[in-house]
Amino acid sequence: MRILLLLATNFAVMLLASVTLNILGVGPMLTSNGLNLTSLILFGGIVGFGGAFFSLAISKWQAKKFMGVQLITKPRTEEEAWLVSTVQRQAKQAGIGMPEVGIFEAPEPNAFATGARRNDALVAVSTGLLRRMRRDEVEAVLGHEVSHVANGDMVTQTLLMGVLNTFVFVFSRIIGSIIDNLLRGNRDRGGGPGIGFFIGSFVAQIVLGLLANMIVMWFSRRREFRADEGGAKLANRQSMIGALEALQRASAPQMPEQMAAFGISASKASGLRAMFLTHPPLEDRIAALRAMP
């Protein structure tokens, strides 16, 4: 239902944008460059959402490949049995299907959740997390990741990326057409796009892409606070705080770029770089948990 609602909303926004841009005379301007506004918006939607949903569809496969996740299909140790039973209990509390549970080799404490559907997800923890955190803290981390799944964060972020990718694709080409027309004036109208269109579109796509990425990262940071709150409820608040404090004491976790947004923690940054972080500072997350009613 969430996917259908957001897709319907995006379709309505694109339809409104098409009508508005035609009224403003953008349609005829694009036509002079051999482009059709309606086709551009439709193609932009296919490209924008196609790439985002493809990434979501392969997210579990990608996680297993890049992180070397070993799934616990049949627990071999007491620790593995505890992990599976804890995730099973938390998934039931959260109202989702039982995720796959796995462990990946990494000296740093970390964990992630991914998957295209709430009832077909993957939750994995690092060996470093199991070695360096108390069991109640591990339980809180598992609750954090289960909350990501229950909140539908992976799907929501994918839809947000699809919407933004569509607008980047369309508006970069509109900007390119505007620049091309300004450079050519009344000369050579109707002869197809000129060099101004290609350069303008290329530069606009880079700039708009950076702005879109900042929005996606802002959402990613906000969802971490919600997942922390969920982890506190599925385990307990002090254990969630203890887990985040343990991450503060650990060295900066190293995860492949493809998986950075899915981990429980990420590297630090300041200034402009902080706007492109997938996670908020740990001290801010701890403060938010302590302020919970």
- Reported in sequence order, the residue ranges of the chain that DSSP labels E, i.e. its strands, are 70-71, 100-104, 111-117, 120-126
- Choose the catalytic residue: 100, 145, 224, 229: 145
3-class SS at 192? coil
CA distance 153 to 147: 9
φ, ψ for residue 73, nearest 5 deg: -85, -35
State the virtual CA torsion across 141, 145, 150, 155 in degrees, nearest 10: 160
Give the DSSP H or E segment for 280.
none
Could you identify the residue written with the tokens 């496969």? 61
Q: Is 229 a catalytic residue?
A: no
* 261, two tokens: 């947004």
CA distance 75 to 40: 52
How far is the CA of 115 from the CAs of 25, 39, 53, 59, in angstroms? 43, 32, 11, 6
Write the single-letter amino acid at 53. Answer: F
Which residues are tagged catalytic? Answer: 145
